[in-house]
Amino acid sequence: MTPLLGIAAAHVLGAMVLSVANGSPLRHSLTRPTGAVVTLGILHLVSLGAVGYGVLAVGAAAAWALRPTEQSEQTRWPVLLSISLTMLVLARSASPTSWDELVWLGKARLESLGFGAGVQAALDPGAHVIPPGYPTLWPSAVGWLSLGRDALNTHTRAATLLVLLTTAVALHTWAPRIERRNLLALVAAFAAPLVWVHARSVYADLPVGLLGLALLGQLLSSRDGRVGLEPIATAVVLTGFKDEGLAHVLAATGAAVLAHGRLTTQWRRLLPAGVALATAVGWHWLLNRAQVVNTDHALALPYWPWVPKLAALLWLHATDIFSWGVFWAVAAVAALRGGSALPVRALRWLVLADLACIAIELLSGPERVRVFAENGTLVNRLLMQAWPAAAACVVAALSNSLPSTTAATER
Amino acid sequence: MLDGANAVSGEPRHFGAAWLSSSLALTAMVLGLWLWRTRFRLLLVWAAMAAAVPGAWYVLWVRADAPLQRDELSSTVTHAVRQVQRVAPWPDGGVEVVFEEDDVLYPIGRYALPTRPAVAEPKVRLWLQGSSLRASCVADAGVVVCGASR
């Protein structure tokens, strides 16, 4: 029950902030799942101390610049379905069973020592937190939703709720954009067995991809770019979850700008990425001051001789029948034949940007990263981060071309 | 525990079915591009569903975290975590990790001891070893050894 109380409190608090920032009624904000994301973004910045407060001020200024001039249409969120799904998921055994789950949930225990203890430990070289220098929000958010309780099953359930939250935010953002919903299109998008493995785990890769997809949808939500506070909060949370989160912010921002056409009229859509960059710069400034070195993700010039190996690894992983079925082949067809409607166009750009980010991360990262990729412990998780965008592209493209099974109830 | 999230078959660095997988993916892509603008485009969806069956079999039946096996795996992991936490309390236990193998007990050790500050006079010197989750912890010559149960 504790994590449910935690996420409920985060949702209500975030909805209040959204309401003030966007000038919308509280009952409107309470129906949007992004409330909890707003709270997590604010808490993350507060946990960074003076640097975070500075970024918070920048974010508040950006939110003012992006304040909507008209009320967005209220979308009905399937509350009963969400509650039922949450109960079903939480009813399963609450124990991690994979490597990274235990390492990340271990860091969630730090928040039981006090708010911000995770950041303090990450900035203390003597604490030997691993991996050194990684952003702290994913485990810290698990600790916050656990309301300080230090128990394995509590942390697992809190992390599961975070996965559900990111799913809800992505669905809430994109479901209204799919005009002709088709169940078979959804089936094709989910015909990727490795996604089912990650959906029932508490790895951060799927949530990062889902938030990247949600950010694109949020950036497209207004014709004049006055998109409100939500994309700023999403961008900050993405940056705080993983180092790759900033890459997803930039990918979603680039996709939104390219889908709309002219950069000069799209400057507002760049503001959430600006706040995310400020968050990342602030975090790296804190790391430098504490002399903590993030050796895993230090970028350098691309190691070009590895390009053939990269192409081979991506092909082998993406076509592995057990992990992905033929999902990536279907996604490629959907991207090429999906048409030119705005949702498909934007998603096509996002998939391309995500794949480009994967290539840059692997080519420009340290040798250790390429060793991980060759050992099979990295590429599939990076593809998992790109899956939500590709799946949405499949759904949007197939929904346009297959007969509708349900009609969209709202835009 | 080691590779469960890196591949469905648990073997992310071995692509034994690479030729079959590549052939199926290429066939799906070519057929999909050809059928997209015809009335047979639904075949692409059916092909996607059929191609997911081998992975679905692993996820739902074969893997240690498959629905019918997950409870047993979870209780084994939880037991191992509790064993280590019992002998190596955190944060005030004064624990020094003297050895940990890069294997299944490594992440469990990291959950039990997320921070490892230097300890001048350790109360517990911890040794983590072995490839089995069915671990017990015993004191041995001033060191607490957590590893495979005998």
pLDDT in tens, A379-409: 999 999 999 999 999 999 988 776 655 544 3
pLDDT, mean of residues A195-208: 93
Q: Which residues contact A207 (CB under 8 A, 6 or more apart)?
A: A138, A162, A163, A166, A241
Q: What is the pLDDT of residue B129?
A: 86
Give φ, ψ of B138 to 5 degrees.
Answer: -135, 150
Closest chain A residue to the Cα of B54, Cα to Cα: A322
- Cα A394 → chain centroid: 19
Question: A31-40, A189-198, A258-267 — which is least confidently predicted?
Answer: A258-267
Taking CB atoms and an 8 Å limit, are B6 and A380 in contact across chains? yes
Mutate to test the interface with B, among A110, A129, A183, A326 (most CBs of B within 10 A): A326
With H, G, I as helix, E, B as strand and everything else as coil, classify residue B54: helix
Question: A116-120, A253-257, A404-408, B139-143 — which is least confidently predicted?
Answer: A404-408
Q: Which residues contact A79 (CB under 8 A, 6 or more apart)?
A: A31
Give φ, ψ of A77 to 5 degrees.
Answer: -95, 130
Q: What is the pLDDT of residue B40?
A: 82
Q: What is the pLDDT of residue A347?
A: 96
| pLDDT, mean over chain B | 88
Taking CB atoms and an 8 Å limit, are B32 and A333 in contact across chains? yes
pLDDT band at residue A31 using 50, 70 and 90 as cut-offs: confident
Taking CB atoms and an 8 Å limit, are A97 and B77 in contact across chains? yes
Is pLDDT above 80 for B75? yes
Side-chain-facing half-sphere of A329: CA atoms under 13 Å: 29
User: What is the ipTM, given to two decimal places?
Assistant: 0.92
Closest chain A residue to the Cα of B73, Cα to Cα: A97
CB < 8 Å from B in window 383-402 of A: 398, 401-402
On whether any CB of chain B is under 8 Å from the CB of A327, the answer is: yes
Region at A192 (left for phi over 0; alpha for psi -120 to 50; beta for the rest): beta
Q: What is the pLDDT of residue A323?
A: 94
Angle CA A316–A320–A321, to nearest 5: 155
Closest chain B residue to the Cα of A375, Cα to Cα: B13
Encoded tokens for A410 = 């709202």
Taking only the tens place, the pLDDT of each residue in A206-236 is 999 999 999 999 999 877 778 889 999 999 9
pLDDT band at residue A82 using 50, 70 and 90 as cut-offs: confident
- Cα A158 → chain centroid: 16
- Of A248, A372, A354, nearest in space to A306 by CA: A372
- Using a CB-CB distance cutoff of 8 angstroms, which residues of chain B are in contact with residue A336? 33
- Of A33, A43, A122, A143, nearest in space to A82 by CA: A33
Residue type, A384: M
Angstroms from A356 CA to nearest CA on chain B: 21
